[in-house]
Amino acid sequence: MNYNLTTENITENYGANLLKQRGIENVDLFLNPQPCSLQDWKDLDNIESGIQLIKDTINNNLPYALIVDCDVDGFTSSTILYNYIKFLNPNKEIEYFLHKGKQHGLEDMWEKLQEKEYCAILVPDAGSNDSQYAINLNVPILVLDHHILEDDYLANNLILINNQVSEKYANKNLSGAGVTWQFCRALDEVFNINYSKELIDLAALGIDADMMSMLSYENQYIIQTGFRNINNFFFKVLVDKQSYSMNNKITPITVAFYIVPMINAMIRVGSMDEKERLFLAFIDGEKLVPCNKRGAKGTMELVAIESARECTNAKSRQDKLKEKIVDSLDIKIHKNGLLDNQVLFIRLDDEDEFPSELNGLVAMQLSVRYNKPTIVARLNDEGYIRGSARGLNKSELKSFKDFLNSTNLFEYTAGHDNAFGISINNSYLSQFHNIANKGLMNIDFGVNVYDVDFVRQAKDTDLDKIILDLSRYEQVWGQQNPEALILVKDIFIRKEDIQIIGKNKDTLKFEKKGITYIKFHAKDIIPLLNQYEEMRINLIGKGNLNEWGGRQIPQLFIEDLEVFDSALDF
């Protein structure tokens, strides 16, 4: 069980000092962010031009065209802008467009947009690199985005508001929903209203879903304020539906694990009718629509309730389809000897018929199954292989994306360190494998390497204090600010101290010195523990408080462990 200790020795104020070592100077403000944590919207380049466009067109008889990007950040961005415009002018017509696949911005829409006259085209969470399409449209185009600008050329009719290219805007980890919400704050000031505060929950959801950094004061303000004040009816319905799984806690981690996957599943595998209902649920969740539930034909249901049910079904369909795809790709992997390479690179053929929206999920599943960084991509007509890459977060290779960039062979790698999209010319594939096999030959991807924040002996008297203190910080953990990992050494227990619980009898539980240790899905480990009458355990886990009968019982959820026969300790 390999680990790196990422902090200097912390012996008091455990959570606060951990945050300080992660670069947070004002811990109190970070934990309780205030409006001063928000950057001035004036620091976004071109925002005045965007404001003027809305002022000039809000009462125009022509409709807006709204392009809804195909992920949670895109849906929330468009909902924010749609509802804000409807608040300014309830009678304003807004025609919205949903992508059929994984397209973004104008790339699959520009020809259709020529069929009708609009006063403006609105593109939240996309469009920064769409000037090649924008020049074909004789209408102003407002882009509210956070993606990297790949080309300096901008069409004359495109108004780009993007935190990445705004030199004064310090928070480069604001998502599309965050940029759109800042734009609405600017409109508040211009129109002398305060409606943006009603939409901050959607900005929080978009930022969380897009895995933006939780080490940003601004992001903390938006997320903490938004999750405390959920106004969107559909968001409320989803939280209610998942409240048991979320343990009635709305945090960046619980939302990312239990809410975001439901919406993403619908966007990936839902029909166009279902995706239309999904967006309608966001913008007008209390609207009545025909119920499609089995046995309820002819009845009406609130679209938020209907779409939440459909999202649950879509998640189930997606998971079954993902497993089917992974099993089918196993044949290709072994037939072609793909496991001989350090990077599992699966180039999809015509026979591999499944939606490209599932590339990332499939790559992630295969990377876990084979303990290899994995790429699942398809060769296009231009000779480029494009798809999704997934690294192993707990491996020695901390950024699969950085490694791919270091080869200088990829047209692009776009996304996070270990979850991103790729493009490479097919002619470079053999060269890539040669570089990767040599460069990664000394890394054993089957061995997890954990970034540990605290190391303690089981007998140490402050272990329960660490767990108790860290529990106060659960609202701030998230991307780039992960939950603290604790390594506990030398836990001496007997076989009879171990409980095997749960419906499937695969949950391991034992107690030592007032702390409960739990590992879920432990079927592979249980036989190992049964070998010894007395044993010594080292483990890595995350702290948790179990409140029961008015008592707070410190727990550690085990991530990994190693077991030794204590009879051999001498």
Q: What is the DSSP string of 225-245?
A: HHHHS---HHHHHHHHHTTTT
In terms of Cα–Cα distance, which of 39, 308, 79, 73 is closest to 208? 73
User: What is the percent of the chain where pLDDT is above 90?
Assistant: 88
Give tens-digit pLDDT for 105-128. Answer: 999 999 999 999 999 999 999 999
Q: Is the Cα torsion angle 192, 195, 200, 206 positive or negative in sign?
A: negative
Count of residues in the chain? 570
3-state secondary structure (DSSP) of residue 558: strand
| Whole-number Cα distances in Å, 219 to 106, 160, 175, 205, 479 | 28, 22, 9, 11, 11
Token pair for 473: 């910080």
Residue 102 has a pLDDT of 78
> What is the band of 570 on the pLDDT scale with cuts at 50, 70, 90?
low
Residue 569 has a pLDDT of 66
Q: Which of 106-115, 216-225, 271-280, 348-357 has the lowest mean pLDDT?
A: 348-357
Q: Is the pLDDT of residue 413 over 80?
A: yes
DSSP 177: H
Token pair for 439: 């460069």
φ/ψ (deg, to 5) at 547: -95, 120
11 or 355: which leads in pLDDT: 11
> What is the band of 38 on the pLDDT scale with cuts at 50, 70, 90?
very high
Give tens-digit pLDDT for 206-254. Answer: 999 999 999 999 999 999 999 999 999 999 999 999 999 999 999 999 9
Residue 200 has a pLDDT of 98
Give tens-digit pLDDT for 141-173. Answer: 999 999 988 888 899 999 999 999 999 999 999
Residue 547 has a pLDDT of 78
Token pair for 273: 């009718």
Residue 300 has a pLDDT of 94
pLDDT mean across residues, the chain: 94
> What is the band of 294 on the pLDDT scale with cuts at 50, 70, 90?
confident
Q: Residue 366: which residues within 8 A CB-CB, separation 6 or more?
A: 326, 329, 333, 344, 346, 372, 374, 376, 390
Instruction: Describe the crossing of helices 303-335 and 272-283 by its angle, rounded to 10 degrees.
Output: 140
Give tens-digit pLDDT for 428-475. Answer: 999 999 999 999 999 999 889 999 999 999 999 999 999 999 999 999
φ/ψ (deg, to 5) at 44: -85, 120
Total Cβ atoms within 10 A of residue 337: 8
Measured between alpha carbons, how far is 276 from 430 in angstroms, rounded to an integer?
A: 43
The residue type of 338 is L
Residue 356 has a pLDDT of 84
> What is the band of 297 on the pLDDT scale with cuts at 50, 70, 90?
confident
In 8-130, DSSP assigns E strands to 64-68, 94-98, 120-124
Mean pLDDT, residues 300-327: 95
Give tens-digit pLDDT for 87-96. Answer: 999 999 999 9
User: What is the percent of the chain where pLDDT is above 70?
Assistant: 99
Characterise 144 by phi-psi region: left (phi > 0), alpha (psi -120 to 50), beta (else). Answer: beta
